[in-house]
């Protein structure tokens, strides 16, 4: 956190009654209560790089269009560069009296370069300025988050390749369903994160239009060049409607919805890690450096990182709902309500990235315990579907009847307390008299898994193909 209102700055500002930037038509200064309530500098100072970037492009355009002189632009530029250094060196005194990052910087510019600094705000308003700043900031965050998702996919794909033939139970209703491979299970998440990346990029594309130049809400009478500024700041084009440009934050809502889906996907994987690493399952050992000990129970190693990822959707959905509620029913155009956008946006970007990085850390050094996975496959009769399919394919029994007969065989195994693959031919023939020896092969886990060769299925050779494919689809380019 940077210094706010340090003594020196406070005394110089206290001397003057009204706000330097907009105080002209006021005879009294705002109440202290109002000042604290109204200011956003505590959280919008994070936008200083983008605010300065925007001001540099804006002032260069003003000079190119002869709205200010070249000399004035160069002076503004050097002042802004000094301010950037002051802030990054934590030598800048932020003031709540100056409300937000925009006015703190502008005020300091005038202190440094004098009256020329007062020309910076020509042909713009804080309304188009703040929308531009957030878009610039969020664009960077989206790029970082998208890249961290790609890295997580890479780690998952590497593990899928290594464990393409490690058998484990596949679950429905958290009951053993059919055998799958650990690699296939991990690749399921690679697909989810692939769609998540797509959603982030879609949202980035739609938001990448420049608001600056829309001014307060109606545009401006100065002969500005918005295309020049758009190009300078890496936007695809200027926004089409000045009122829309200052009034909407749909791009932030899209980002937060995309983040909510990422959080949902991560929380499911996190919950699986919690289950898998529990002492009842014991399917995996999580890397020690992503777990913690208990202050009282010496034997414990708790999956805290996974649990936090499981919990973070709470705040991430909350942030989304909070901004949706702020915007709902807000009349055109800007309202101070919109200052409430920043904390949820910033919090979401920070936390979703942390979740992705921690998940990658855990997956990177996860150690599966094959014996435990195999042990779990000995219960729950996971090859029952294979048995029913065998009856259909080889003995021409209609599926519904085959399902019924298989149920009887499962019951038999259950009474004998043995896995299906340990039944004898005689056992099976007591239910299906014309079953032959081939049926015993069908009941083996290995054969069940390697028979799942349909496109997208779990057979190890499919998984290897899917790994290759995933590398091409998600990691190249």
Q: Which of 470, 246, 236, 408 is nearest to 337 (CA)?
A: 246
Q: Is 294 considered catalytic here?
A: yes
Query: 336 vs 396, which CB is nearer to ligand ARG?
Result: 336
Which letter does DSSP use for residue 98 in this model? G
Q: Is 164 considered catalytic here?
A: no
The residue count for the chain: 477
CA–CA separation, 203 vs 423, rounded Å?
A: 56
For residue 128, what are its two tokens? 């188009």
Query: 84 vs 124, which CB is nearer to ligand ARG?
Result: 124
CB of 37 to ligand ARG, least distance (A): 12
Q: Which run of H or of E encompasses 293?
A: none
Query: 42 vs 378, which CB is nearer to ligand ARG?
Result: 42
SS3 content of the chain, % helix, strand, coil (to 5): 65, 5, 30
CB of 30 to ligand ARG, least distance (A): 13
CA–CA separation, 107 vs 77, rounded Å?
A: 15
Answer whether 128's CB lies under 8 Å from 213's CB.
yes
Give me the long-range contacts of 434-442 (CB less than 8 A, separation at least 24).
434/395, 435/391, 435/395, 436/394, 438/390, 438/394, 439/387, 439/390, 442/383, 442/386, 442/387, 442/390
Query: 331 vs 433, which CB is nearer to ligand ARG?
Result: 331
Of 173, 221, 295, 454, which residue is the catalytic one? 173
CB of 457 to ligand ARG, least distance (A): 52
User: Binding to ligand ARG (CB under 6 A): which residues in 112-131?
Assistant: 126-127, 130
Return the exposure string of 164-199: e unless at least 16 CB atoms fall within 10 Å of the residue's CB, then b. Answer: bbbbbbbbeeeebebbbbbbbbbbebbbbbeebbeb
Which of 50, 60, 100, 128 is the binder for ligand ARG (CB under 6 A)? 100
CA distances from 392 to 402, 404, 411 (A): 6, 12, 19
Number of residues that bind ligand ARG (CB under 6 A): 10
Query: 339 vs 448, which CB is nearer to ligand ARG?
Result: 339
Contact between 141 and ligand ARG per CB under 6 A:
no
Query: 345 vs 466, which CB is nearer to ligand ARG?
Result: 345
Query: What are the helix (H) ranges across 89-170?
Result: 101-113, 126-162
User: Binding to ligand ARG (CB under 6 A): which residues in 312-371?
Assistant: 334, 336, 338-339
CB of 81 to ligand ARG, least distance (A): 23
Q: Which residues pair with 416 in a beta bridge?
A: none
Per-residue interface string for the shown chain with ligand ARG, residues 35-74, x marking contact by CB under 6 A: -----x---x------------------------------
For residue 106, what are its two tokens? 């502008």
Of 12, 78, 278, 294, which residue is the catalytic one? 294
In a 10 Å sphere around its CB, with 0-12 CB exposed, 13-18 middle and 19+ buried, how is residue 263 labelled? buried
CB of 22 to ligand ARG, least distance (A): 8
Residues 6+ apart with CB under 8 A from 21: 98, 103, 106, 107
Query: 44 vs 421, which CB is nearer to ligand ARG?
Result: 44
CA–CA separation, 380 vs 11, rounded Å?
A: 75
CB of 95 to ligand ARG, least distance (A): 14
CB of 217 to ligand ARG, least distance (A): 9
Residues with catalytic annotation?
173, 294
Residues lying near ligand ARG in the complex (CB under 6 A):
40, 44, 100, 126-127, 130, 334, 336, 338-339
């Amino acid at each position: 956190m940077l210094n706010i209102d340090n003594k020196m700055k406070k005394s110089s500002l206290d001397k003057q009654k009204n706000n330097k930037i907009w105080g002209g038509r006021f005879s009294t200064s705002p109440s202290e209560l109002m000042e604290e309530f109204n200011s956003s500098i505590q959280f919008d100072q994070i936008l200083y790089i983008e605010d300065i970037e925007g001001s540099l492009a804006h002032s260069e355009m003003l000079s190119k269009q002869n709205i200010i002189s070249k000399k004035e632009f160069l002076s503004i530029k050097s002042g802004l560069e000094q301010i950037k250094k002051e802030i990054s060196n934590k030598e800048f005194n932020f003031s709540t009296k100056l409300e937000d990052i925009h006015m703190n910087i502008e005020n300091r510019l005038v202190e440094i370069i004098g009256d020329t600094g007062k020309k910076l705000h020509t042909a713009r308003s804080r309304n188009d300025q703040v929308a531009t700043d957030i878009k610039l900031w969020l664009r960077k965050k989206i790029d970082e988050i998208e890249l961290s998702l790609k890295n997580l996919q890479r780690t998952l794909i590497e593990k899928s390749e290594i464990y393409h033939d490690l058998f484990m139970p596949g679950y429905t209703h958290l009951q053993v369903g059919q055998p799958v491979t650990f690699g296939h299970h991990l690749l399921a998440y690679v697909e989810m994160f692939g769609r998540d990346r797509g959603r982030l990029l879609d949202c980035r594309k739609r938001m990448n239009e420049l608001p600056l130049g829309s001014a307060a809400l109606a545009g401006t009478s100065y002969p500005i060049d918005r295309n020049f500024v758009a190009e300078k700041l890496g936007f695809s084009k200027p926004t089409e409607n000045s009122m829309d440009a200052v009034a909407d934050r749909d791009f932030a809502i899209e980002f937060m919805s995309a983040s909510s889906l990422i959080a949902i996907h991560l929380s499911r994987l996190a919950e699986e890690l919690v289950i898998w690493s529990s002492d009842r399952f014991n399917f995996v050992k999580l890397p020690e450096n992503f777990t913690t000990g208990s202050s009282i129970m010496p034997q414990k190693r708790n999956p805290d990182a996974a649990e936090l990822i499981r919990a973070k959707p709470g705040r991430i959905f909350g942030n989304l709902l909070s901004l949706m509620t702020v915007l709902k029913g807000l009349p055109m155009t800007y309202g101070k309500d919109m200052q409430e956008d920043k904390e949820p946006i910033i919090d979401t970007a920070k936390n979703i990235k942390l979740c992705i990085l921690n998940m990658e850390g855990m997956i990177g050094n996860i150690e599966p315990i094959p014996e435990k996975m195999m042990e779990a496959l000995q219960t729950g009769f996971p090859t029952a579907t294979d048995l029913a399919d065998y009856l259909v394919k080889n003995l021409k029994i209609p599926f519904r009847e085959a399902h019924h007969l298989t149920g009887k065989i499962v019951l038999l195994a259950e009474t004998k307390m043995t896995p299906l693959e340990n039944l004898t031919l005689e056992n099976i023939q007591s239910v299906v008299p014309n079953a032959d020896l081939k049926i015993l092969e069908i009941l083996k886990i290995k054969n069940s898994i390697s028979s799942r060769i349909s496109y997208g299925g779990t057979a190890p050779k499919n998984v290897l193909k899917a790994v290759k494919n995933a590398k091409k689809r998600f990691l190249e380019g």
